Structure 1
Amino acid sequence: MGDMKGGNKSKANDIITATELKNNLGMYLDYVIEDNEVIITKNGKKAVRLTPYITDADRYFLMKEKTLDYQYGGKKVSYEEFMEIYEKSDLRMEFINGEIVLLSSPSTTHQEISGNLHVEFREYLKGKPCKVFYAPFDVHFRKEGFKDPDVMQPDLIVACDVAETTNEKGRYMGTPLLVVEILSPSTRSKDMVDKLNTFMISGVREYWLVDPDQETILVYGFKDLDIDHFMTYRKQENVRSYWFSDLEIAGAVVFP
Structure 2
Amino acid sequence: MSAQPDEPVSRVRMSWQDYLDLHEQPEKSRAEWVAGEVVVVNAPPLFGHGVATVRLIVCLTSHLPDLHVVTEVFLRLPRDRVRLSDVMVTRTRPPDGWVTEPPVLVAEVLSRATRSEDTLRKSTEYAEGGVGQYWILDPELRTLDALGNDGGGWQVLAHLDDDRPTGEVEVDGVRVPLDLEQLLPP
- 1:89 deviation in Å? 5.4
Larger strand proportion of the pair: 2
* Alpha-carbon distance in structure 2 between the residues aligned to 1:202 and 1:79: 20
The runs of 5 or more residues in structure 1 that have no matched partner are 1-65
- 1:228 deviation in Å? 3.6
The reply on whether 1:252 has 2:181 as its aligned counterpart is yes
Map Cα deviations across residues 50-101 of structure 1 (whole Å, 9 max, x no partner): xxxxxxxxxxxxxxxx2438x85x6533434422334345322112343212
Instruction: Name the amino acid aligned to 1:185.
Output: R
Partner of 1:157: 88
SS of 1:109's equivalent in the other structure is helix
* Alpha-carbon distance in structure 2 between the residues aligned to 1:179 and 1:121: 11
Q: Larger relative CO (CA 8 A, sep 6+): 1 or 2? A: 2
What is the correspondence of 1:7-86 to structure 2 with a 5 Å cutoff? 66-68=1-3, 76-86=13-23
Larger helix proportion of the pair: 1
Number of residue-to-residue matches in the alignment: 177
* Alpha-carbon distance in structure 1 between the residues aligned to 2:154 and 2:101: 21
Q: Given the two structures, how large is their TM-score scaled by the length of structure 1?
A: 0.62
| Maintained 8 Å contact 1:182/1:209 | yes
Instruction: Name the amino acid aligned to 1:247.
Output: V
Partner of 1:138: 74
* Alpha-carbon distance in structure 1 between the residues aligned to 2:26 and 2:57: 27
Instruction: Name the amino acid aligned to 1:183.
Output: L
SS of 1:87's equivalent in the other structure is coil
* Alpha-carbon distance in structure 1 between the residues aligned to 2:70 and 2:12: 31
* Alpha-carbon distance in structure 1 between the residues aligned to 2:167 and 2:34: 29
* Alpha-carbon distance in structure 1 between the residues aligned to 2:51 and 2:178: 15
* Alpha-carbon distance in structure 1 between the residues aligned to 2:14 and 2:83: 15
- 1:184 deviation in Å? 0.7
The reply on whether 1:216 has 2:143 as its aligned counterpart is yes
SS of 1:209's equivalent in the other structure is strand
Q: Given the two structures, how large is their TM-score scaled by the length of structure 2?
A: 0.82
Instruction: Name the amino acid aligned to 1:248.
Output: P
The runs of 5 or more residues in structure 2 that have no matched partner are none
Two-structure CA RMSD over aligned residues (Å): 2.4
- 1:156 deviation in Å? 0.6
- 1:232 deviation in Å? 2.2
